[in-house]
A and B are shown apart, each in its own frame.
Chain A
Amino acid sequence: MQRETVLELLGVETFYGKIKVLHGITMKVKQGQIATILGSNGAGKTTLLRTISGVVEAEYGQILFKDKRVEKLDPNKIVKSGISHVPQERLIFSELSVEENLKLGAFTQKNSHMTEKVFTYFPALKERLRQFAGTLSGGEQQMLAIGRALMSKPELLLLDEPSLGLSPMLVEEIFTILKQMNKDGLTILLVEQNVNLALDLADYAFVLKNGKIFMSGEPESIRQEDKVRESYLGEGKGKYMKRAKIWGQQ
């Protein structure tokens, strides 16, 4: 199946102050894909998502969304163009009600009819509309964060570690819903610490290391790579150094 490229990054470099976090990222995400970004802590996964959504500015390089450059736009313009970002900390507005949170998600839409659709994915939210978002459980907060991001009718959803702090059962539930959203036509770029889960879900994977794309490919080929298995899957020869190497023997 020939898919069109939705998101393209060309040599994107991002700095925090004087520290370079992203060293020239070049990648493509295709229409209808679930792409995942793997990598250890501090590899720059979160920064990459923040750069795409414009909360952090890219110093160099280009970001193309549907063939239009977006790297110099304000975050609100980027949301309007069809990218929605669910941050790692979820950042729901805990002092506002669930309903207000959802309405804010649709801020860029003149009249959004997405609420019903969000409820079909997350029926639990419907019963909690009037409640303050801060009183929701962890799982419900994550559902609210994703539901809120859907309200702006995105074509591309950036998800930063949706499994963080949730029980395995809840994680499975959320991943099933993500799969359903993808079937309904949403392109997803997922950052996930749970590598096995991410590779199960994704159509394509990027491995990020020290702010560079270290490897990319189909999930199966990534799974085959020894380096990935050792570093992230806890399989293979183990992550400890081989004692034989100490004396230079192979």
Chain B
Amino acid sequence: MTTQIITYGITLGCVYALVALGLVLIYRATEIVNFAQGEMMMMSAYMFFTLYSMEKGLFTAVIGSLLFAVMLGVVMNTIISRPLIGKPIFAQIMATIALSIVLRSLTGVIWTHEDFFMYPPPVSMKPMDVGFLQISPYQIAIVGVSIILVLLLYLFLNLTRFGTAIKATSENPVAAQLMGIPIKRIYIAVWILSSLVSAVAGMLIIPQFGLQPMLGSRLLLMALPAAVLGGFGKLEGAIAGGLILGVLESLATVYLPTSIYDIFPWIILILMLLIRPDGLFGTPVRKRV
């Protein structure tokens, strides 16, 4: 029983980790905390669902959703990043929260506020016996896709010229400019990258959670503590934080009373901030002057 709960938690954690990864990517490069990340994820997921239910085939649906995510990334860069980069943090937070509300309502207008479920799911959700585990192909797909995605992201950031330029811009935009790195283009790339990662998370979670306009904020409420848990600003931290919260949440669902488990991630977060305010992977913050 417990192993099964943990397996479920890990699959859930993968999705949280991906959304958290999207948050951290943007934060590292632009120092903006994007409260509309959940809605970005959700809208791409709606796009996927729409194409899929029009029976265009899984591949077309995935590509369509990813293209939509690219567009969304560019739009977000234009309306959030360009006017707000380097501005007071309060203005940034208000703007992204406002945008998340607008996008949520917009989703409601376009796709209605009803719940959609994916029947049949593209991958079977029936558990099979794999060794001592009971695991469904759907769960394997989530974990597999997440691992591949993180691996690709890692290779991109560490082995390509453009990826290294993204890391450099995240560390110090002025120095990056002096190297001749076009940082405006880097910012657009980061928003696109983040939007893509979130879109994959969205597509992965639909069969489990279904679709409705509150999905975005629901996932952000898990991804945000996950990112903070990992030390907000560290990619490996976001992944670890996501997995830990996923597992803890699924354990809490079973072993704790219902009224508690919704606030459970936040209890973990508060404890973490009390014990180690810089998060699991964080280094003490030194403000750049």
Contacts and interface: CB of A to CB of B under 8 A. Distances in A.
A80 B180 contact: yes
Chain B facing A: main interface SS: helix
A95 B171 contact: yes
A177 B177 CA distance: 25
Interface stretch (A13-21, A86-94, A165-173): A86-94
B168 A104 contact: yes
B126 interface: no
Contact of A107 (B167, B172, B174, B179): B179
Nearest to A105: B179
A92 B171 CA distance: 9
A75 B168 contact: no
Given A93-B171, A94-B171, A96-B171, A75 B165 contact: no
A79 B175 contact: no
Interface in B156-194: 161, 164-165, 167-168, 171-172, 174-184
Interface in A52-98: 53-55, 74-76, 79-80, 84-85, 87, 91-96
Interface residues of A, number: 26
Given A96-B164, A104-B164, A85 B171 contact: no
Interface string A99-130: 01001110110000000000000000000000
A91 B167 CA distance: 14
A107 B171 contact: no
Contact of A79 (B161, B164, B178, B184): B178
Contacts of A54: 177
Contact of A75 (B164, B171, B180): B180
A84 B176 CA distance: 12
A91 B172 CA distance: 7
Contacts of B180: 75-76, 79-80, 107-108, 152
A159 B85 CA distance: 28
B184 A107 contact: no
A100 B175 CA distance: 14
Given A93-B171, A94-B171, A103-B161, A55 B179 contact: no
Contacts of B165: 104, 107
B181 A92 contact: no
A93 B175 CA distance: 8
A148 B178 CA distance: 10
A103 B164 contact: yes
B171 A76 contact: no
A93 B178 CA distance: 12
Given A93-B168, A95-B167, A79 B174 contact: no
A51 to B, nearest CB: 13
Contacts of B184: 74
Interface in A15-67: 53-55
Contact of A91 (B178, B182, B183): B178
Nearest to B178: A85
A76 B174 CA distance: 11
Contacts of A84: 178
Nearest to B176: A104
Contacts of A74: 177, 182, 184
B175 A91 contact: yes
A76 B175 contact: no
B164 A100 contact: yes
Contacts of A53: 178
B178 A55 contact: yes
Given A93-B167, A95-B167, A87 B179 contact: no
A91 B168 CA distance: 10
A110 B278 CA distance: 39
A152 B179 contact: yes
A55 B46 CA distance: 42
Nearest to B182: A76
A55 B164 contact: no
30 contacts: A74-B177, A74-B182, A74-B184, A75-B180, A76-B177, A76-B181, A76-B183, A79-B178, A79-B179, A79-B180, A84-B178, A87-B174, A91-B172, A91-B174, A91-B175, A93-B175, A94-B171, A95-B167, A96-B168, A96-B171, A103-B164, A104-B165, A104-B168, A104-B176, A104-B181, A107-B165, A107-B181, A108-B180, A148-B179, A149-B178
Given A76-B182, A91-B172, A152-B180, 15 more contacts: A53-B178, A55-B177, A74-B182, A75-B178, A79-B178, A79-B179, A87-B174, A87-B178, A103-B164, A104-B168, A104-B179, A107-B161, A107-B165, A107-B180, A107-B181
Interface of A: 53-55, 74-76, 79-80, 84-85, 87, 91-96, 100, 103-105, 107-108, 148-149, 152
